Amino acid sequence: MKLFDVYPLFAIEPVKASGSWLWDREGKKYLDLYGGHAVISIGHNHPRFVEALKSQLDQISFYSNSVKNSLQEKLAEKLGQLSGYPGHHLFLCNSGAEANENALKLASFVTGRKKIIAFKKAFHGRTSGAVAATDNPKIVAPFNAGHEIVFLPLNDVDAFRNAINEEVAAVIIEGIQGVGGIQLPDDSFLRLLVSECKKAGALLILDEVQSGYGRTGKFFAHQHAGIEADLITIAKGMGNGFPIGGVLIHPTIKPWSGMLGTTFGGNYLACAAGLAVLEVIDGQELMANAAKLGTYWMEQLATFPAILHIRGKGLMIGFDLPDSLAGLRKDLLFKHSIFTGEAKPNTVRLLPSLALTKAEADIFLEALAAELKQTAVL
């Protein structure tokens, strides 16, 4: 059987990883400033993470959500403490898309409405239809006939004021748009969403799948604006490579048996991985590290005149390149062995491990200086 060919691939096969580094089959070493799309939060194969998974495998790896699982409770407790949302409740699932699906479902359950406001260039996942194709009276809700989604430009106050009303179930927004090219919602715009959602009786969903888990220097990107959300979705950095996702749910939303569910969500291995990640973020003060190195990178990037529109927070950084430098990301990879991310058309995205060191940050700056010098646009 062949693989279904949906991914454009680099001809590089990492076979070993540690911290911010990857090695291919030939033993060539690469600096990973992408983390497989913001997934590697505490560093590849962090010893605490490896130990947690190994020792869990020696005990129990899976049983269904029909029995007590105190690892889930421990994870929720630690997440509540570190995230600043101790009063929210946690629903565990397996991926970012699933977390968003569940958040949208909850919004429709709670409000009885099916209209959703989302923002242009947002990315919330790739699923559709599983609920709509399910004939189970227990989960029949307004969304079963499909949500109605309205897309607005990010930060457009007038468009938002015109769209929000008492038909809206939820407003969903990324803490910082990732796939859309590191676009930041204004703090004042986020505050407006909170107040207008309250007035309209709609729920505010913060998608922190990419921007959460300490990446921006605070646990969630929206916390820079001093706001709180009704529902927060998480995945990626949550498991440092082990698939796990979740929804943080406002305590006024009351659960009932069968309201949400999943086979694999909250399994023992995922919880062991998730708990190790939180302990390392806390113990190694990785949020402070992300804030410090992010500021350093942004300051240094600003010294290159060829680099345009530098933006981001902590270790979630984007910058644009003129067309003449469109090949820079490939040069960084093939000439300097540095993985970065991209967004169309010419945006470079930096999403390294939150345990990145200054020496590693400097390797990138030196490679960048060398490339820009070569093309005489330094």
Q: Which residues bind ligand PLP (CB under 6 A)?
A: 37, 95-97, 100, 123-125, 174, 178-179, 207, 209-210, 235
CB of 100 to ligand PLP, least distance (A): 6
Closer Cβ to ligand PLP, 128 or 195, answer by number: 128
CB of 63 to ligand PLP, least distance (A): 24
Active site residue 123: yes
CB of 222 to ligand PLP, least distance (A): 12
Q: Which residue is nearest to ligand PLP (CB)?
A: 96
CB of 13 to ligand PLP, least distance (A): 21
Closer Cβ to ligand PLP, 101 or 371, answer by number: 101
Active site residue 236: yes
Of the residues 114, 218, 236, 313, which is catalytic? 236
Active site residue 207: yes
Of the residues 114, 115, 160, 207, which is catalytic? 207
Closer Cβ to ligand PLP, 69 or 95, answer by number: 95
3-state secondary structure the chain: CCCCCCCCCCCCCEEEEEECEEEECCCCEEEECCHHHHCCCCCECCHHHHHHHHHHHCCCCCCCCCCCCHHHHHHHHHHHHHHCCCCCEEEEECCHHHHHHHHHHHHHHHHCCCEEEEECCCCCCCCCCCCCCCCCHHHCCHHHHCCEEEEECCCCHHHHHHHCCCCEEEEEEECCECCCCCECCCHHHHHHHHHHHHHHCCEEEEECCCCCCCCCCCCCHHHHHCCCCCEEEECHHHCCCCCCEEEEECCCCCCCCCCCCCCCCCCHHHHHHHHHHHHHHHHCCHHHHHHHHHHHHHHHHCCCCCCEEEEEECCEEEEECCHHHCCHHHHHHHHHCEECEEECCCEEEECCCCCCCHHHHHHHHHHHHHHHHHCCCC
Of the residues 123, 151, 264, 304, which is catalytic? 123
Closer Cβ to ligand PLP, 209 or 355, answer by number: 209
CB of 193 to ligand PLP, least distance (A): 16
Closer Cβ to ligand PLP, 178 or 318, answer by number: 178
Query: Which sequence positions are flagged as catalytic?
Result: 123, 207, 236
